[in-house]
Amino acid sequence: MENSRCPYCREGIKTEAILCRHCHSRLGAVGAHGRRRALSPETWWLPIPAVVFGLLSLFCSWSTAGVYLSWDEMAGLMVIPLFGIITGLSGALIQAKGRNTAIVGCAMSALGLIVAILLLID
């Protein structure tokens, strides 16, 4: 099925083609870029640490409330891991944003967990 045209020689080519079979020009830079940003089989697990770290952080924050922190302070602390969980999950759901979004989610959740653990130790 030929449903696209080579921008170099104007011959009909497959939309998924990365190399024109008529003039051998490199194609599909846009398509390849879009696919590279999405979660690949190697990075599908990225939202998992985002959610796990986030939940651990929420649990640690929760256990500090009323002891070391006021409820208002705890609510402020919980924003970080909540944001991490949401960002990590949206990286998996919104494939156009994909990998980078999931990495940001992991980083946010990990940051929330570190802050919560530091507060517990203190």
As measured in angstroms, the least distance from the Cβ of 36 to Zn ion is 23
- Residue nearer to Zn ion on the CB measure, 8 or 45: 8
Torsional sign, CA 117, 72, 104, 49: positive
Q: Is 12 helix (H, G, I), strand (E, B) or coil?
A: strand
- CA-closest candidate to residue 109, choices 37, 67, 48: 48
How many residues appear in the chain?
A: 122
Query: Which residue, 5 or 120, has its beta carbon nearer to Zn ion?
Result: 5
Residues lying near Zn ion in the complex (CB under 5 A) are found at 6, 8-9, 20, 22-23, 25
- Rounded to a whole number of angstroms, the minimum distance from the CB of residue 7 to Zn ion is 8
Q: Could you please report the per-residue DSSP string of 30-78?
A: HHHHHHHHSPPTTTTTTHHHHHHHHHHHHHHHHHHBTTTB-HHHHHHHH
Residue with Cβ nearer Zn ion (29 or 67): 29
Report, in Å, the least distance between residue 3 CB and Zn ion: 15
Tokens standing for 77?
A: 């602390």
Q: How far is the CB of 28 from Zn ion (least distance, A)?
A: 12
| For Zn ion, the closer CB: 28 or 105 | 28
